[in-house]
Structure 1
Amino acid sequence: MSTPETNKKVPQFSALKLNPLPAKDDCCCEGSCAPQAEQTLPDNGTRYSWVVNGMDCAACARKVENAVRQVKGVDHVQVLFATEKLLVSAASDISAQVEAAVASAGYSLRSENAPAEKVSPLRENLPLITLIIMMALSWTLEQFNHPFGNLAFIATTLVGLYPIARQALRLMKTGSWFAIETLMSVAAIGALFIGATAEAAMVLLLFLIGERLEGWAASRARKGVSALMALKPETATQLVNGERKTVAISALRPGDVIEVAAGGRLPADGALLSATASFDESALTGESIPVERDAGEKVPAGATSVDRLVQLTVLSEPGDSAIDRILKLIEEAEERRAPVERFIDRFSRIYTPAIMLVALLVTIIPPLLFGAPWEGWIYKGLTLLLIGCPCALVISTPAAITSGLAAAARRGALIKGGAALEQLSQVQHIAFDKTGTLTVGKPQVTGVYPQNISEDDLLALAAAVEQGSTHPLAQAIVREAQSRGLTIPAATAQRALVGSGIEAHIGDKKVLLSAADKFPAAGLAARVHELEQAGQTVIIVVQDGTTLGLLALRDTLREDAKAAMADLHQIGVQGVILTGDNPRAAASIAAELGMEFQAGLLPADKVKAVTQLNASAPLAMVGDGINDAPAMKASTIGIAMGSGTDVALETADAALTHNRLTGLAQMIRLARATRANIRQNITIALGLKGIFLVTTLLGITGLWLAVLADTGATVLVTANALRLLRRR
């Protein structure tokens, strides 16, 4: 059933490493949820993975971890609740022992490729239905004959208690001594001994109802992840020597040629071989409008070919497509836990034993010291015992964070875990690189200024000299000439002039393209100064020593840059430009966007500027190049543009896969909403338990309401976290 995997590193965005979640104990055990040292699955040995059946909440994941940790030979174990995966690292094959240990804890495993076992709703809910029927019969008998009704409630309690007590014993054997099943069993048995038979049965019924609700809420919480997993088809059409054959997507390798029909989804990241095609990438990037792709452009796995049959060259290894990287980020959410989550873990370690001690003292002190009746205080002690499980408190933070990460992924924002999400919610300033981040990163010809020659002739001569060059300015000139449909003459003897420009022979004349400050342009000095003051790069075209005219070029703003800055200002976030470009170009862009700027910065200067800004308020750094990576690391949180370099993407704590700046404000709003959701969840979890703690001591509430304080609060905080998935 296990799936052994050879040890390999999986990219994070582009180079994402698959690390496990930190190991935790069951949330209801002594020393529960104590933060442990962060772990990673080791690079040596073999890694095995399964899918776990039957997990209803994060506490179940901890129970499975505890069970597997008892197996001899297991080096590391990790349960990823968001995707229901169990990862185990061991030096030898311990698959059978792991499967037996999980079975002994009351759960089952299946291989990742095996389909989920389909269980009929009747069979799945049979214990609950049986208990409801027995409760109704017991209540009816109680109305007519108390002794028979009492016996019926006892029978109902024993029937309901059997599976719960059996699970409690299983968990005790696997190291989870004080799971909620154990606390429920003790409370139900104690209630029988003091004669509260109806309440004992009601407690078990409410517990089973709560379990079903938790399972429903958990499945809803996982829907966002399941939807991503469903984007990848199971098979692909591969072209081999012109013949089509259907293969599993795990068989695809970089370089393979695949075919995707109109309306079909890409099974792997690919480069388009067809001339042009439209793709719906909304499921991955949040972009609602189909994207036009030309031959050679990359298309992510999960995108849908909108209007035609297309052929692509596979670019990604199995398990390393765009969808796989998003899923791995979500799986890793608990590894990079938010500070508030680590605090809750530490608090819950104290909370459970403290409540258990209070329950014991409430049970014995009044009868022993004050002669109070044992029955009433045992009842109160049992009630407090049910309040002692901090399931709702422990799930309050990861439920919100998982929902927040999934919601961000739907909108084309990848965030590396809860810590990054919390940092993002605190951001008050954003520092931007200019080229490729605020601007398109492709210079464009903005003006052609001829002298005694036509515009088209001047541009054609310049394009002839620049033909074949890889310099961005040269390519911009050639693109402009081609877009005008000009005939570009042939040039020979092209020669780069270090520090000044480039020259070539066109026919029997020598044509030189030079930077404006390297060649005196008689009569054009005023125009050159004007253009440079506007932040444009000026190139002078000279033929046999005679100036023919000027070309002005500029890297233009992204279409959404102004809208993005307006959105950020609306949520109280200020922006600053940090660029290595010249001050004039930076000033021009900053003026258009209403931002401050620092120009002429080397990578070390950017780090220094970011450090200074970060000291005054939490700062995010947005960039796309290798030179931005050190500054992104120095900021509170680094955000990479999806079109950026691998180094920038790997260094960043978050990335915009859709490459839209307007996604920044959306990302920050979602992070702030997630932080507010966490606070709401903690208030619900602690507030309900606090209320029931007081009302129990005052004798106002009893056992069955204590169950609501636990399972009800767990369902409430999970449902509240699900609201993040519906945010627009």
Structure 2
Amino acid sequence: MSEGVTQARYRVTGMDCGACASKIDTALRRVPGVSEVAVSFQSGVLSLAHDERVDEAAVTKTLSKLGFGATPLAADSVAERPADTAWWKSAKARATLLCGLAVAVAYGVGQLFPPIERYAFIAALLVGLIPVARRAFAAARMGSPFSIEMLMTVAAVGAVIIGATEEAAAVVLFFLVGEMLEGLAASRARRSISDLANLVPKTALVEEAGEIRTVQAEVLQVGEIILVRPGERIAADGEIIEGAGDIDEAPVTGESVPKAKVAGDTVFAGTINTTGVLRIRVTAAAADNTIARVVRLVEEAQESKAPTERFIDRFSRVYTPFVVLFAVLVAVVPPLAVGAPWQTWIYRGLAVLLIGCPCALVISTPAAIAASLSAGARRGLLLKGGAVLEGLRHVTAVAFDKTGTLTQGRPIVTDIVAFERSEDVVLAMTAALERGSTHPLAVAILDKAKAQGVSIPPAFMAKALAGEGISGNVAGETTFFGSPKAAVERAPINPAKAARIEALNAEGKTVSVLVVNGQAVGLVALRDEPRPDARKGLSALTARGVRTVMLTGDNARTAAAVGDRLGVEVRAELMPQDKLAIVRALQAEGLTVAKVGDGINDAPALAAADIGIAMGGGTDVALETADAAALHGRVSDVADMIALSKATMRNIYQNITVALGLKVVFLVTTVIGVTGLWPAILADTGATVLVTLNAIRLLRWRPV
């Protein structure tokens, strides 16, 4: 940030469409001292950079003149969400109800006292029009002369001048009803991401010096110990230090089945502890927990416009002045050219003016994108902006890393082979030697022993032998566990045993031999296994016509074993620069390439790809690198992202068709005299509401 420049954020009320955001943007950019403006009507947040000439009062005063309210937010706040209020308590609802009452009274007065009917409707008209006109002229002074409020004001005043007073009052009422419905639809769209932020409980039980006290979750500090009982939501990201339980992560990752968690496992804020009492060490402050970062990134993504949205914005800047000019021509050309009645054609020109409002068109794309980003985030699919969301539908090739992406990222025991003694004894003696080690292979063996309930005997004088394995004394017997090459030096391995070792190696497994008192008594094979959904996820991509490739630095035999199981094209023994070259080669073939990895390795390939996707369970890297992140690390998430992209674009095309189609129909029918002012305003507000409601359908999107 430049010296002397202040960053500020505001929660804006009354901002219900892209046109509203555009008016705010235009007005604030004209304020001396304001250098940057970012307005997101989807999240209702305004961000701006300004110098000392601008203060909070100047910003709120400018917004107030345009008809918007503003409340300052902390620079990094994501938790401050607008409180839900009944629809009838909003300012727009009150204005609509008041205008409706005035029109009803005017109608009654007209029935009882016909001579003053015109004046009664003018009074009713003014009840609704004065606030609209004030906003219209304020917007015009601040650089937005072609606002819907200005078009509405001109049309209503013009209708009064030509004697269509009753219609003018009704049109203003319909306009206010449409604005109220837009507000309701927009608040419904915002509520999805707000609900996500509200998943984190307000309080937490902190354990300190043996005592338990209740504190506000927002003040939890890294390193504090919190107690979470069965049925409670977890108040912070953390690591379990004591206890075990099943954690329902559906609110954060979309996983339908609770995950069993034990000491040492990580947990996320907002998830639910369904069983057991947990003591958890906090690893992230409230502003940095998983949900807070997801909400912040989604809000930032909503401010990033998609190519289609940018095109619509440019189009609407030309479209609205053109329609205004067309309305003027409709009003004056027929009377001047062929002597047609002035009143008839002025009336039609005013109707065309109302039809020309671009609200429905402007909102068609951002409303759909906002709903999709929210729907994706709630299912663990984090897409960083409209451009990414739109671009995913074009993906024709996906390059996956192997370790941690297609596979679990950690070895597990796949085979225990007993040549002598039993499998349980082989596992127990192996675990005895490995106990205390943090090596991934040792951890896998100890996990296997624990899972099978094997009793582990004590080991003495255990020591690691560099490049060979580990030796020691287990239950009074001299024991060695290590590579087949090192085992051969300590015990004879006959051809049958050697063949078994070779067969396991051919399957891409790491094999270690257990030698006891100079005799090879068994072996243990380990492998980094594919994720449970990897084959299904790859098949889903193939079914969509997307080419899949696995890129790995592993040896060709291990890579081929994984590739054969998953049915994916394999490129092995690659350096980072090799992966980059392969991505570029795929692009040179005319393919649009997505690169999927853990967000840390292979940065050149991730950067070179058309779309970079990070796999991870809510880590900083998974959230903050690449263009998108699959929070719960399922391979099928990649196909789901593409499906969401295509569903979004279908929705956008539907919205554009409705917005433009209705306008074209009513423009034609208005010019030929079939429809008038009432249908004109209904065409505008009706199209806006229809487009918004259609976009909101995406909030219910589910992967197929």
Confirm or deny a common fold (TM above 0.5): yes
Residue 366 of structure 2 aligns with which residue?
A: 398
Alignment of 1:48-67 (within 5 A): 48-67=8-27
Partner residue of 1:531?
Answer: 504
Bigger drift between 444-453 and 248-257 goes to 444-453
Offset, 1:270? 1.9
Of 690, 695, 706, which residue of structure 1 is paired with 2:669? 695
Query: How far apart are residue 455 of structure 1 and its match?
Result: 4.1
Show the counterpart of 1:511. 480
1:720 aligns with 2:681: no
Asked whether the equivalents of residues 392 and 717 of structure 1 are also in contact (C-alpha less than 8 Å), the reply is: yes
Q: CA deviation at 1:183?
A: 0.9
Amino acid at match of 2:527: R
Q: Distance in 2 between matches of 1:249 and 1:325?
A: 16
Unaligned residue ranges in structure 1 (runs of 5+): 1-40
Secondary structure (helix, strand or coil) at the match of 2:12 reads strand
Q: 1:649 to 1:222 in 2, by over 3 A?
A: closer
Please report how far the alpha carbon of residue 400 of structure 1 lies from its aligned counterpart in structure 2 after TM superposition: 0.2
Q: Which residue of 2 aligns with 1:80?
A: 40
* Residue of structure 2 aligned with 1:98, choices 59, 78, 83: 59
Query: 365-374 or 586-595, which moves further after superposition?
Result: 365-374
Matched, 1:171 2:136: no
Cα-to-partner distance string for 1:9-65 (whole Å, 9 max, x where unaligned): xxxxxxxxxxxxxxxxxxxxxxxxxxxxxxxx7697433333222223232233333
**Residues 252 and 502 (structure 1), Cα distance of their counterparts in 2 relative to 1, 3 Å cut:** same
Pick one of 302, 312, 318 that aligns with 2:286.
318
Alignment match, 1:653: 627
- SS of corresponding position for 1:375: helix
Aligned counterpart for 1:594 among listed residues 547, 562, 567: 567
Is the 8 Å Cα contact of residues 205 and 227 (structure 2) preserved in structure 1? yes
Is this contact kept in 1: 2:469–2:483, CA < 8 A? Answer: yes
Q: Relative to 1, partners in 2 of residues 1:446 and 1:249: Cα closer, same or farther, differing over 3 Å? A: closer
Which amino acid counterpart does residue 352 of structure 1 have in structure 2?
Answer: T
Identify unmatched segments of 5+ residues in structure 2.
74-79
Q: Quick one: distance in 1 between partners of 2:480 and 2:277?
A: 47
Deviations 1:187-234 (A, max 9, x none): 111111111222211211110110111111111111201211221233
- What CA distance in whole angstroms lies between the structure 2 residues aligned with 1:463 and 1:116? 56
Please give the alpha-carbon distance, in whole angstroms, between the structure 1 residues aligned to 2:450 and 2:95: 74
SS, match of residue 288 in structure 1: coil
Does the CA contact (< 8 Å) of 2:480 and 2:516 recur in 1?
yes
Identify which of 326, 329, 332 aligns with 2:300.
Answer: 332
Q: 1:560 Cα deviation (Å)?
A: 2.1
Q: Which residue of 1 aligns with 2:466?
A: 497
1:386 is matched by which residue type in structure 2?
L
**1:131: how far off?**
2.8
CA 1:385–1:541: 2 relative to 1, 3 Å: same
Q: Is the 8 A contact 1:188 1:200 kept in 2?
A: yes
What is the 5 A alignment of 1:312-391? 312-391=280-359
Displacement of 1:117 in angstroms is: 9.0
Please give the residue correspondences for 1:35-46 in structure 2 after superposition, counting only pairs within 5 Å. 45-46=5-6
Deviation at 1:588, TM superposition (A): 2.0
Task: Give distance in 2, aligned partners of 1:594 and 1:308.
Answer: 40
* Letter matched to residue 137 of structure 2: L
Q: Is the 8 A contact 1:336 1:418 kept in 2?
A: yes
Change in 2 beyond 3 A, CA 1:427/1:189? same
Task: Report 1:103-502 matches (<5 A).
Answer: 103-112=64-73, 116=83, 121=88, 124=91, 125-139=93-107, 147-452=115-420, 454-484=422-452, 485-492=454-461, 494-498=463-467, 501-502=468-469
Pair 1:684 & 2:684 matched = no
Post-superposition CA distance 1:313-364 (Å, at most 9, x none): 2211231111111111221124432111111112112111211222222233
CA distance in 2, matches of 1:119, 1:665: 39
Q: Using the alignment, how far apart are the partners of 1:650 and 1:312 within structure 2?
A: 25
Matched with 1:610 is 583
Q: 1:110 to 1:335 in 2, by over 3 A?
A: closer
Provide Cα deviations, 1:674-711, integer angstroms capped at 9, x if missing partner. 11001111111111111122222222221222212221
Please give the secondary structure, in 1, of the residue aligned with 2:366.
helix
Q: Distance in 2 between the 1:681 and 1:179 partners?
A: 21
Displacement after TM superposition at 1:555 (Å)? 2.0
CA distance in 2, matches of 1:244, 1:110: 36
CA RMSD, Structure 1 to Structure 2 (Å): 2.9
Q: Work out whether residues 270 and 300 of structure 1, in 8 Å CA contact, stay in contact via their aligned partners in 2.
A: yes
User: Relative to 1, partners in 2 of residues 1:646 and 1:133: Cα closer, same or farther, differing over 3 Å?
Assistant: closer
**Which of 578, 603, 608 is matched with 1:629 structurally?**
603
Matched to 2:684, the amino acid is: D
Task: Please give the residue correspondences for 1:1-40 in structure 2 after superposition, counting only pairs within 5 Å.
Answer: none
For residues 365 and 349 of structure 1, what CA distance do their matches in structure 2 show? 25
CA distance, structure 1, for counterparts of residue 235 and residue 50 of structure 2: 31
Supply the AA of the counterpart residue of 2:369: I
Counterparts of 1:177 and 1:295, CA distance in 2: 63
Alpha carbons of structure 1 residues 580 and 179: separation in structure 2 relative to 1, 3 Å: same
Q: Contact between 1:73 and 1:94, CA under 8 Å: does it hold in 2?
A: no
The amino acid across from 2:540 in the alignment is D
1:17 maps to: none
SS of 1:56's partner is coil
Point out the more displaced range, 650-659 or 188-197: 650-659
Name the counterpart of 1:9: none
- Looking at structure 2, the residues matched to 445 and 590 of structure 1 have their Cα atoms a distance apart, in angstroms, of 19
CA contact (8 A) 1:624 1:645 kept: no
Aligned-pair CA distance for 1:141: 5.6
**Residue deviations 1:520-567 (CA, integer Å, cap 9, x gap):** 855244333322222222334456876555432222222222332343
Identity percentage of aligned residues: 48
Given that residues 204 and 214 in structure 2 are in contact (C-alpha distance below 8 angstroms), is that contact kept between their aligned partners in structure 1?
Answer: yes
The SS at the match of 1:302 is coil
- Whether the 8 Å contact between 1:624 and 1:649 is mirrored in structure 2 is no
Deviation at 1:144, TM superposition (A): 7.3
Cα pair 1:519 1:540 within 8 Å, conserved: no
Which residue, 557, 564, 576 being the options, matches 1:584?
A: 557
Aligned equivalents of 2:96, 2:422: Cα separation in 1: 87
Say whether the 8 Å CA contact 2:487–2:513 is kept in structure 1: no
Q: Retained in 1: the 8 A contact 2:40–2:303? A: no
SS in 1 for 2:643: helix
Q: Is the 8 A contact 2:393 2:645 kept in 1?
A: yes
SS in 2 for 1:79: strand
Report the 3-state secondary structure (helix = DSSP H, G, I; strand = E; otherwise coil) of the residue aligned with 1:440. Answer: coil
Q: Secondary structure at the match of 2:200?
A: coil
Query: Paired residue for 1:89, among 28, 31, 49?
Result: 49
Instruction: Please tell me the residue identity of whatever aligns with 2:501.
Output: V
How many angstroms apart in 2 are the aligned matches of 1:509 and 1:130? 93
Secondary structure of the residue that 1:319 maps to in structure 2? helix
CA contact (8 A) 1:164 1:181 kept: yes
450-459 or 369-378: bigger deviation = 450-459
1:415-465 deviations in whole A, cap 9, x for unaligned?
A: 111111112222233222222222222222323345455545544554455
CA shift at 1:719, angstroms?
A: 0.3
Distance 2:251 2:192 in 1: 11
1:638 matched to 2:612: yes
Structure 1 match to 2:77: none
**Taking structure 2 as the reference length, what is the TM-score of the superposition?**
0.89
Mapped partners of 1:116, 1:727: distance in 2: 25
Q: Letter of the 1:75 partner, please give it.
A: S
Q: Bigger shift: 108-117 or 599-608?
A: 108-117
Judging changes above 3 Å, is the alpha-carbon distance between structure 1 residues 544 and 272 closer, same or farther for their aligned structure 2 residues?
A: closer
